[in-house]
Amino acid sequence: MRRILTQIVILLLLSTTVALRAQGSPPHVIVHGVWFLTGDTNGYSNTVVIEMRDYLIVVDANYPGRAKELLGVTKQLSPKPVRYVFDTHAHGDHAYGNSVWTAAGATTLAFQGVTDEMNRWEPTRWRNAMASRADVRATGETDVQRPQMSITGDKLVLNDGTREVDFLFLGWGHTPGDGYVWLPAEKILATGDAAVNGPRNKLLDANIANWPKALERAIALGPLHVLPGHGDAGGIEILQGQRQFLIDLYAAVKAQADTGKKPAEMQIELPAPDNVWFPVGRADLRQQDIETVYLEITSHAPAGSVPHEWR
């Protein structure tokens, strides 16, 4: 009898491990009640799960396929329901799973800039994603579901007596609606794609000149743990590195643009630490970064405000 019980326990543990792994690595406990789950498979973003007294908060809805996986993962992490899902920005890998979460009873929320970006670019980007993503097609929907709650101003605080969670808008960086999630007691900052760990970002919707200023405000918070939208978790060095890369890239492109060079003629060499964020192994993405900075400089306007296609 004892042997049978032991086998049952082993099977339960194995099934739990498989469920928790899903597509990413197993959830990493940052502090008690805060989990970080990496994406970066099948185009997925990272996810943060925050436990409150009576409910859970999920940071980033992700793509529909990952959202469905996460519904199961969160049940393994805690019996509490997911009440809120926060979209850090409007890109598909962070927001296209909205309808999966609302169908499960959660409320989606984001800063007003996220909804504004969706209204500007959708449903074109959604339809383009349908061509390459079975999980988007499988929703049967023709457009991304907008966040159910739009946050106006630059701060929303949730505090249930056990934990405070601050939703912050620090300025137009990666996108006009960039939202950060700040846990002041634990000094944990979830950044979405306003700061990533590695060459995993696109600048197309950005305000590249202003982005470092937004990151400076994030650095001033003094986070001990930085949970990026892509790449491994780390500390304040992620914010500092992302910021310096943007400053150096902008300066290098501007210096060559000032001599009359076009992007195709530019040879951009950045300090070695910047290569963590500059896609050295992807010449096409590297060139896209250069072209986007050049567009912003020559347009005298944020790159994201100039008509462009997502690619």
Q: How far apart are CA 150 and CA 62, in angstroms?
A: 18
Which pLDDT does position 279 carry in this prediction? Answer: 84
pLDDT of residue 10: 33
Q: Which CATH superfamily is domain 1-169 in?
A: Ribonuclease Z/Hydroxyacylglutathione hydrolase-like (3.60.15.10)
Question: pLDDT (tens digit, 9 = 90+) per residue, 117-146?
Answer: 999 999 999 999 999 999 999 999 999 999
**Which pTM value belongs to this model?**
0.92
Q: What is the model's pLDDT at position 24?
A: 58
The low-confidence residues of the chain, meaning pLDDT below 50, are 1-23
List where CATH 3.60.15.10 sits in the chain.
1-169
Question: Given this model, what pLDDT does residue 41 score?
Answer: 85
pLDDT per position as a tens digit, 191-227: 999 999 999 889 999 999 999 999 999 999 999 999 9
